[in-house]
Amino acid sequence: MNTANYSTFIEFLKQYGGPILTLLGAALAAGMSGMGSAKGVGIVGEAAAGLMTEEPEKFGKSLILQVVPGTQGFYGFITALIVLSRVNLLTGNIMDIPLQTGFQLFMGCLPVALVEFYSAIAQGKAAAAGIQILAKKPEKFFDGVIYAVMVETYAVVALITSILIIVNIKL
């Protein structure tokens, strides 16, 4: 192994690792939750489109179910904003973030990045099942909404976890 390259990499990591990990964490929080929400909203949209061909008057209720998986994307976006605003307010320059702090911020973003991605897709599937309820038993529509919203519990737990980690990191 060429120790000169190793030394150069370590110096690079010391100098730029904090900002890189901070930005990577924020990007994963916003990106993965957004991808999950896009997939979840798409799943419900596909189910709702079939219902609209037969009963277009149910558009408003089907739209409620379609919107629900989109919340996870907002949670990721909020998390990324909190990270970036904390860095900006407390250091004034993201390049001043040390490696240790960048790693902590990165780790703080992981609950939102991972849980929101998966829960948005799961919520999309539950909401699509709610479209089936709306189609066959419209009087039970809110039962379908409740099934979909139950998945939101875990999305909120991940959001709170990420926020608590991020705001408690000493910058």
Question: What's the confidence (pLDDT) of residue 90?
Answer: 60
Give the CATH number of the domain where residue 40 resides. 1.20.120.610
Length of the chain: 171
Overall domain count for the chain: 1
pLDDT confidence of residue 92 = 73
pLDDT for the residue numbered 171? 76
CA distances from 45 to 8, 116, 144 (A): 50, 19, 15
Contact status, residue 71 vs residue 156, Cβ threshold 8 Å: no
- pLDDT given for residue 91 in this prediction: 66
pLDDT tens series, the chain, 171 aa: 566 666 788 888 889 999 999 999 999 999 999 999 999 999 999 999 999 999 999 999 999 999 999 999 999 999 999 999 988 766 677 888 999 999 999 999 999 999 999 999 999 999 999 999 999 999 999 999 999 999 999 999 999 999 999 999 987
Whether this prediction's pTM lies above 0.85 is answered by yes
Question: Residue 1 has what pLDDT?
Answer: 53
Both structure tokens of 138? 């419209």
pLDDT of residue 170: 85
Question: Could you list the residue range(s) of the whole structural domain that residue 105 is in?
Answer: 3-167
